[in-house]
Structure 1
Amino acid sequence: MSADPVPGIAEFRSGLQAWLGEHDLTPGPDHSLDGQVAQLLRVRKALFDADWMRYGWPTAAGGLGGPAALRAVLGEEVATRDLAEPGIWSLIEVLAPTMIDYARPDLAAEMVPRLLSGAELWCQGFSEPESGSDLASLTTRAIPRGADWVVSGQKVWTSLAQYAARCVLLTRTAPGHRGITAFFVDMDSPGITVRPLQTMHGVDEFAEVFFDDVLVPSDRMLGTPGDGWQLAMDLLPFERSTCFWHRIAYLFTRLDQVLAETDSTDSAEDPALGEVFTMLHTTRCRSLLTQRRLAAGARLGPETSIDKVLLATAEQRLFDTARDVLPGAIELDDDRWRTEFLYSRAATIYGGTAEIQRNIIARRLLDLGKESA
């Protein structure tokens, strides 16, 4: 495939669809987390080698240029074909932009292609046992030692940490929001211990990570001391735009599968299915607006909390409806429907709880003020 010129969105989609039709990237029979990660890396490598994975990323970081919308199209095609689990696929949309925006240019140029090509996985060390939604209260500390830094503390709910070669890590270097500093840490550094956590849906996707006097070179700092809070805020446009677009595309495929399994039953006429479609369509329309604002150079802010509430609500309604119209599929069968139903229970928790998001909407968008004492 030619790297020049950069194709338009319609040309990119049609070319990608044709290429995927000629190259079989169908997942194998192993649906465990190990199997999902192996499939993810396989798909990324194939798409990178064929250049599809490189569009939408800057040339200075190993990309081929073009708008970020090309990455949204790629993720949508991957999701609708069920080639890779959408949650772990979309991590790249949070981690790669962070490196491009905050790392030294030479470090980004060296590292980002490793992530895009599937040579490595990275993780995001933000949440802590006592600071989940209240990220500003994190306590993992980085102390200068000569030209380096020594990191001690604990992170939790760190996705795929047991597979990751690197970690984008937030630490405390001084009090307050301006005392949060980010580092790019090698996960094989002495003093790092990773303990996978099994969630109620039976997958060890998350882990707790312990840092015991971990030496981090000063040239692995992302930005300057105190830039960590702004880095975390800058993640939101990507987490709640391209990542959400991928997730919505995937949820539409699951709705299609519900409809396929109810074709021969009275449940196919259940109005709840229409309600789910309406909710997903509404969420996609909202996500499209967010993507367009981002593409136009707008700085996204608290309004993305609306996207988060809509997506979490639609996801839970989808799997609630699947439970109702596919009798026994979740309660009696130990299959994918059960796993995804259980995982959907966390949709209103991860990435910012529904309660926090609604408070943001009320206070920062509707100007309803703070709660009374």
Structure 2
Amino acid sequence: MRLSPFTGPDVFRAELRAWLDDHDLTPPTGHDPGDPGDSDRTDSTHDLDAQVAQLGRVRQALWQAGWMRYGWPREVGGLGGSGVLRAVLGEEIASRDLAEPGIWSMVEVLVPTLLDYAPPALAAEMAPRLLGGEEQWCQGFSEPGSGSDLASLSTRAVLGEDGGEWLVTGQKVWTSLAQYAARCVLLARTGGPGHAGISAFFVDMDSPGITVRPLRTMHGVDEFAEVFFDDVRVPASRLLGAPGDGWRLAMDLLPHERSTCFWHRIAHLYSRLDRLLAEGCESDPDALGAAWLGLHTVRCRSAAAQSRLAAGGRLGPETSVDKILLAGAEQRLFDTARDLLPGTVELAEGPWRTEYLYSRAATIYGGTAEIQRNIVARRLLDLGKE
């Protein structure tokens, strides 16, 4: 059954749930895609392989059935309709643990960026490959010494003499899933220092001169990687926007990280709270209530962001408040699990330990809590640079 793209979210959700009930998209091994620390598996690289394979499998099935097309424009193979339908789809996927929410949500960051900045023909060719599960992509922003201070990045792109290609040299770090990625949205310096000298490119990851080295995190998964560029040739047609548009692209991309992506993450965290309750952890209702309240608060903020986007609005620095609240709620939830399940985090190699360790990074990835508070102070409260 194909719904109208103008179907409301409630009808869309009901039909989607019925379809998911009738189509088994659970991991074929029984492995929880949201739990890379499953105690039955010891090879963390293989665990990540399973997560990425499951992500592709789910996207392919949803694309073929049409569900993955709602909320995306027809120019890239979509069916049109509100982006709220994409939020509903991701929420249902996260709630059922059908795909890890962080890597699922990368489409919500990279596809809108391609739509806004790539030549239309390039977007039309490439976006269906990501949406349909054929490819994974990555985002090459952070560098050693240029994490939160993105304007100081030093990876450089030099236009060749004939103007037909750029030569890229430099290093990126903390690049999620780079070892699986077919493409990269890359920031590089094409001009002088500061924001105005940064440009963006859409780079094929199999280009000669690219080296990827996975990085092991403290929760035991090679989720991030270093990526080295040694005179990598990038066609001039792969420039996103105009030279010098890189900073504007980055500022437009960040709100996407904190809108629909957050909605998916919140759904995942609610499922973990349900799991905590299912394990009989009701001895401290105050702690459970505080964990629920943290999630409810950020869900309300995220719902407001979804409504604003659905009405055609744009997101700005106010999403830094959402980032602060989500990081706090995530850490509070897993702190509560640690306290109510004694020894589960400290002594057991199981799912709670893995997700607890991952939650420690919630105040770092996607912009540190300190940077977010600075943004709130300067741009929302007008408190000045000091």
Q: Compute the TM-score of the two structures, normalised by the length of structure 2.
A: 0.93
State which of 202, 208, 212 in structure 2 corresponds to 1:194: 212
Which residue, out of 263, 270, 279, partners 2:285?
A: 270
Taking the aligned partners of 2:308 and 2:5, their CA distance within structure 1 comes to 25
| Structure 1 match to 2:332 | 317
Of 89, 98, 123, which residue of structure 2 is paired with 1:74? 89
The one of 337, 345, 366 aligned to 1:330: 345
For the pair 1:94 / 2:109, whether they are aligned, the reply is yes
Alignment partners' CA distance in 2, 1:110 and 1:344: 36
Identity %: 73
The residue aligned with 1:15 is: 15
Is 2:121 the partner of 1:103?
no
Per-residue deviation, residues 108-163 of structure 1 (Å, max 9, x unmatched): 00000000110000000000011101111111000001211000000000000000
Structure 1 CA distance for aligned equivalents of residues 129 and 315 of structure 2: 28
Query: What is the distance in 2 between the residues matched to 1:298 and 1:2?
Result: 28
Q: CA deviation at 1:270?
A: 3.5
Three-state SS of the structure 1 residue aligned to 2:174 is: coil
1:171 alignment counterpart:
188
Cα distance in 2, alignment partners of residues 359 and 269 from structure 1: 35
Larger RCO (CA within 8 A; separation ≥ 6): 2
What letter corresponds to residue 18 of structure 1 in structure 2? A
Alignment of 1:47-86 (within 5 A): 47-86=62-101
Contact 1:55–1:64 (CA<8 Å) still a contact in 2? yes
**Displacement of 1:4 after TM fit?**
4.5
Aligned CA-pair RMSD? 1.1
Query: What's the CA shift string for 1:304-326, capped at 9, x where partnerless?
Result: 10000000000000000000001
Which sections of structure 1, spanning at least 5 residues, go unmatched?
none
For the 8 Å contact 2:5–2:79, the answer to whether it is kept is: no
TM-superposed CA distance for 1:179, in Å, is 1.1
- Report the Cα offset of residue 212 of structure 1: 0.2
Counterpart contact for 1:237–1:294, Cα < 8 Å: no
Paired with 1:48 and 1:268, the residues of 2 have a C-alpha distance of 44
Q: CA deviation at 1:5?
A: 5.2
Q: 1:113-132 maps to which residues of 2 (within 5 A)?
A: 113-132=128-147
**Alpha-carbon distance in structure 2 between the residues aligned to 1:290 and 1:177:** 27
Deviation at 1:362, TM superposition (A): 1.2
CA contact (8 A) 1:3 1:64 kept: no
| TM-score, normalised with respect to structure 1 | 0.97
The 8 Å contact of residues 5 and 71 in structure 2, kept in 1 or not, is answered as no
Ranges in structure 2 where 5+ consecutive residues have no aligned partner: 37-46
User: What is the DSSP-based 3-state SS (H/G/I as helix, E as strand, rest coil) of the residue aligned with 1:162?
Assistant: helix
Aligned residues: 368
Q: Secondary structure at the match of 1:215?
A: strand
DSSP 3-state at the match of 1:83: coil
CA-to-partner distance for each residue in 1:177-196, whole Å, 9 max, x for gaps?
11111100000000000000
